[in-house]
Chains A and B, each alone.
Chain A
Amino acid sequence: MMPDDAMTSATRIVGRSVPRMDAPGKVTGTALYAADFALPGMLYGKVLRSSEPHARLVRINAGRAARLPGVRAVITAADVPDVRYGGSVKDERVFARDRIRFAGQPLAAVAATSPDAAAAALTAIEVVCEPLRPVFDVAAALAPGAPLVHDAWASYTALPILHRDGNVCNRARIVVGDVERGFVEADRVFENRFTTSSVHQGYTEPRAAVAQWDSSGQVTVWSNTQLPFEIQTTLAEILQLPPSKVRVIVPGIGGGFGGKLRIGVEHFAALLAMKTGRPVKVMTTSEEELTAAYARQPATVAVKTGVTNDGRLTAREARLWFDTGAFAGSGPGVASVATLMLAGPYRIPNLLLEGFAVYTNKTNFGSFRAPSGPQANFAVESQMDIIADALGLDPLELRLKNIVREGEEGPTGQVLTAVGLEECLRRAADAIGWRDRRPEVGRGKGIACGWWTTTGGSSGVYVKVNPDGTVALNTGAAEIGTAALTGAAQVLAEDLGVQMADINVVSADTLSTPFDFGAQGSRTAFAVGNACRAAVADLKRQILALASKHLGVEESALALREGSVVGAGKRATLGELARISQASGGGLIAHGTFVAPPTPYDTKRVEGHVYPAFHSPSFHAHATDLSVDAETGEITIHRYVVAQDVGFAMNPAAIEGQIEGGVAQGLGQALSEEIVYENGRVLNANLTDYKMPTARDVPRVESILVQHPSLVGPFGAKGVGEPPNIEPPAAIANAVASATGVRITSLPITAEKVALALRERAK
C-alpha cells in the first residue's frame, strides 16, 4: 500500500516504508501520553501567572488561597531554592521573586484535589506589584535609554562565547571577506526588510507532568518532554539535588516541534509534590500555551545583497533581530543558527551576517522546528526573487547560478559534501511546470530553496536478544511522532537480520535508558540509528563467538542470517543463543554509542556563535502554484511540491509524512497564524483566534525524495524532520508576487494584506 523505493532493493528493511511500530496503540486509544498519566492519590496543580508585563513584585499573599476547600499547598518564590537557571544565560527563575518580566510569568502554584479547586485558589491569591516601563519590541528594547529587562545582566552566569550587552543577550556574527568591497564590485545593491510574527508549535497535547517523591528523596517525573535528560539536569539544578535524585520518564508525546524541549511544568509538579507529599499533575491550558510557552521568536530581518548584472552574488550584509522575550532561553543559539540561514546555500564571497537575540517584556520564546529557518529564509529567498525580477532573470536560473556545489565552502568555511541542492531545484521546478510559466493575472508560481543541519549530540542504546529470539532496543530518545524510533529499529533489524516484528522498544527513562541528547534538531533517527549499528556490531561479535563455541565451528565459517547463525551445516537461532548466554554468561546484550564527528570550520569567521556549522546538511527546494483573488486577496494553492535531499530515505512514507506535515505547519506560518500582541499581552490566546490550518486549508503536497548520501548518517541518511517548515513562507511570497506583482514582506501573508496592497497599487 505504501511505495517502496526501487533503489534500495538490496536492503531488506531500511529504505522501505514499513508501518510505524507504535501505530496500533495510537489508533486504538491505548497508547499512553503524559497528558493521560495519573497516579493514585494524585493532586492537580495550576500556575498563577502575572497579568502585568513589567513590574516590581511587591507582595504575594496566598493565605486565603491556602485555606480554600481542596487546596493542599500554595508555593511561591519563597518556597523554592534561590536558583537562576537557563541554557545559555542563567537568567530564569521558577517564580518571579521581586521582578515580573512578562505577562504570563509564573508567580505561584497551587495543588488541590481537583483542577477546579486549584483554579479557584488561583483567583484568591493576592498579588501587589508596581508597573515598570516596559519594552514590547526589539526597536523599543534597543532604543537609547531603554529600560533594561535584566538590570543585573552583566552578573549572570552565561556561556562565555556569547556577546551580551544590556538588552542584547547575544550577538552572533559571521564575517567573510570584505562586504564593502563586495558591494563596490556589484552592479546593483538590493536592500530589503522583512518581519515575521510569533507562531506556536500547535501540538494537540498540552504540556503535562506528574511528579512523585519517594522515601529516599528521589523524585520521578513523567512528562511529555522531548529532552528527558535535559529536564533531569535542569530540575536537579532547580531543586539543588544531584541529577541521580531526579528521574524523568516520557510515557508518550502528542507532538513537540521544539515546544517541549525546555522545562515547562515539570518543576511546578515536582515542587508541589514535595510540599504536599503526594503525586501532583500539572497540565497547561490552551491559553497558557499561547501566552507563556516556547513559541517561535518574532523577527525583523534586514538584507543587503550585491549582485552583478548577470546575476552573480558578490556580497551580503544581513541582520536578523529576534525578539527573544523576557529570558534568553534558546535565543542565543537561534541567533547563531540564523546567520547560517541568512547566507543560505549560496556562494557569496563577502559576508557580514549578524543574529541578535534581544530581551523584551514578552514570554521567553523558544525553539520551533528549524529555529530561525523560516524567518531568515523568508527574507533571503524573497529577496532572491526581487533581485531576479529587477535583473530580468529567471528566479530558478539566478539560484542555480549561485548555489553551492559539491566540495565548496559553507559560510563558516565548512566543506560541503553530499550537496543535493541542484537536483532538488531542478526536480521541484520540473514538477511544478516551471518552464510553462505564462503570465496569467491572479495566478503564479514561486520557488524557494534552503539548507539545514542534522544536529549533533550523543546517543547511546542497549540492544539485548531475548530468549525467544526477539530483540529489545533500549534508547534514551523519546518518540515525538516523527517515527524516528521506527527508523532506528529499521537499522537495527537490517543489521541484525531480524524482522521489525521482533523488536520491542523501551525508551526515554533517565534511570534505565542510556543518555540521549534528545529529540531535537532532526537528529533522532540519525544518531540512534548509528548507535544501533555500533551496538549490533558488538552484538554480532558476541553472537558469533558464542555460536562458534556452542556449535563447534570456526567463527570464520559462520554467518548471521535471518535470525540464525549458520555454517558448516549447523544452525543455532538467536533465541537459543540468548538462552545459553543467559544461563551461563549473563545474556546477549550490547551497548552502542554514537556522536557525530565535529564539522571543521574556520573559527576566525565567527563570533558569539553557538552553532558554527551545519552537520550532514540537508538541502531542499519548494515550488508552488497558486491563485490570488484580486478582490478579497484570498490565496488558493493549486499545487505544492517539495524536493528534499534526505541523504538516504530510511522510510520513504514516514519521510513524506514529515514533509506533508511540515509544509502544512509552514503554510500556517505563511498564511494564517500569528500570536497577536498589544502592549505585551496576547490578544488571541485561544484556538478560535489562533488560526491553524484545518483539513480544508492544506493542499496535497507532492514529495520528491532526493538522495545524496551523507558520509556520516546510517546508510547515508540525513536529518529530515525540520526542513519542510523552512521554505513555505518564501515560496508563497514569491508565488503571490508572481501572480499579482505585489510583494508582501511580513508574515503571515494574509488575504487582508494582499487585498490592501493590491488596492494601494491600483491608486
Chain B
Amino acid sequence: MTRIALSLTINGQTHDVLAEPHRTLLDVLRTDLGLIGTKENCLEAECGVCTVLLEGAAVNACILLAAQCQGRAIVTIEGLAAPGQLHPLQRAFIDHGAVQCGYCIPGMILAAKAYLDTNPEPDGDGVREALAGNLCRCTGYQRIIDAVLSAARALRTSPPSQAAR
C-alpha cells in the first residue's frame, strides 16, 4: 500500500507525515507522532477516549482519516496549555478530584473545552449532555461535572493568557 504525504497541523505545529490513506488520525497521532495523550479503546466512536478538537469541535479521532485532516487545525491534550502550565480545566479536574484512573480524562477535558468555548455559562445538565459521548467507568461523572462548572466560572473571571491555547 502506497503511503501518501500529509501535512497535519497539530497544536499549532505542522507535522509532515507519510502514511497509508486508510490510517486514522488517532493512529497517526499515537504511532507516528508519539502524541500518546489521545487514547485508544473501542475504535468505533462509542467511548470518547480519542476525542480531539478539529477546528474547535470535539470529534472522535478513531473514525477520522488522517488524510481528511490536512489544513485543518487539530488540538490534542498536549496542546491545551504551554508546557509547565495548566489550563483552568486541567486545574479544576485536579482540584475537584475528577481524576481516578485518568484514561478517559484527556478526551473528557477536550470535550469539555469545546463545550465551554461555545457555552461559557453552562449548567449541570448541559455539561452532562455535552460529555455524554465520553464514557468514564471510575468516577460516576459527578466530580467531572463539578470540575467543568468550576472551570467555566474561572474562565469567565479570567480568560487564559495568549501563551496557553
A23 in contact with B93 given A204-B137, A661-B138, A664-B141 (CB within 8 Å): yes
When A and B form their complex, what is the total count of cross-chain residue pairs whose Cβ atoms lie within 8 Å?
173
In this complex, the member of B31, B77, B96, B137 whose beta carbon has the largest number of chain A beta carbons within 10 angstroms is B137
CB-CB under 8 A from B14, the residues of chain A are none
CB distance from B14 to the nearest CB of A (A): 20
CB pair B137 A255 closer than 8 Å: yes
A701 and B76 alpha carbons, distance in the complex (Å): 31
Q: B63 — which chain A residues lie within 8 A by C-beta? A: none
How distant is the Cα of A1 from the Cα of B149 in the complex, in angstroms? Answer: 13
- B128 and A695 form a contact (CB under 8 A): yes
With A253-B101, A687-B47 in contact, do A204 and B41 touch (Cβ < 8 Å)?
Answer: yes
For residue B13, CB closer than 8 A to chain A, the reply is no
- Docked pose: A567 CA to B31 CA in angstroms: 57
18 A/B residue pairs, CB under 8 Å, sorted by A: A2-B95, A17-B97, A27-B86, A27-B105, A28-B90, A31-B102, A201-B137, A206-B41, A254-B103, A254-B104, A255-B100, A255-B138, A481-B102, A657-B138, A664-B139, A664-B141, A694-B135, A695-B129
A206-B41, A657-B139 given; A24·B94 CB < 8 A = yes
- Given A203-B101, A661-B100, A696-B132, A29 contacting B36 (CB threshold 8 A): yes
Bound CA span A660–B140, Å: 5
Cβ–Cβ contact B95 & A687, under 8 A: no
For chain A residues 471-520, which have a beta carbon within 8 Å of chain B? 480-483
Asked if B94 and A664 make an inter-chain contact with CB atoms under 8 angstroms apart, the answer reads no
**CA–CA, A656 to B86, complex, Å?**
25
When the two chains form their complex, are residues A36 and B43 in contact, meaning their CB atoms are under 8 A apart?
no
* Chain B residues positioned under 8 Å from A153 (CB to CB): none
Please measure, in the bound complex, the distance between the C-alpha atom of A658 and the C-alpha atom of B49, giving whole angstroms.
20
Binding site for A on B (CB under 8 A): 30-31, 36-44, 46-47, 49, 76-78, 80-81, 86, 90, 93-97, 99-106, 109, 127-129, 131-145, 150
Contact B78 A29 (CB under 8 A): yes
Give the docked Cα–Cα distance between A482 and B101 (Å).
7
Within 8 Å CB of B138, what residues of A? 255, 481, 657, 661
Shortest C-beta distance, B142 to chain A (Å), equals 5
Task: Give Cα A253 to B100, complex, Å.
Answer: 10
- Alpha-carbon gap, A696 to B40, bound state (A): 23
Mostly, the A contact residues are loop
CB under 8 Å from chain B, chain A span 198-216:
201-206
Cβ of B42 to closest chain A Cβ, rounded Å: 5
Of B38, B78, B94, the contact of A23 (CB 8 Å cutoff): B94
The docked-state distance in angstroms from the alpha carbon of A17 to that of B104 is 22
CB distance from A108 to the nearest CB of B (A): 22
CA gap between A700 and B101 in the complex, in Å: 20
Q: If A29-B106, A36-B36, A687-B47 touch, does A1 touch B42 (CB 8 Å cutoff)? A: no
Instruction: Please encode chain A, from 645 to 666, with 1 for each CB lying within 8 Å of some chain B CB and 0 for all others.
Output: 0000000011011101111110
Bound state CA distance, A204 and B51, in angstroms? 13
Q: Within 8 Å of chain B (Cβ to Cβ): is A22?
A: yes
A698 CB to closest chain B CB (Å) equals 5
Partner of B128, one of A203, A254, A658, A696: A696
CB distance from B12 to the nearest CB of A (A): 16
Q: Give the distance to chain B from A11, nearest Cβ to Cβ, in Å.
A: 19
Beyond A23-B93, A28-B37, whether A687 also contacts B46 by CB under 8 A is yes
A507 smallest CB distance to B (angstroms): 14
Complex contacts, B90 vs chain A, CB 8 Å: 27-28
B-side contacts of A205, CB under 8 Å: 39, 41, 49, 101, 103
Chain A residue nearest to B131 (CB atoms) is A695
Say whether A27 contacts B99, CB under 8 Å: yes
Q: Kindly list chain B residues whose C-beta atoms are within 8 Å of the C-beta of A29.
A: 36-38, 76-78, 106
B44: which A residues are within 8 A, CB to CB? Answer: 286, 686-688
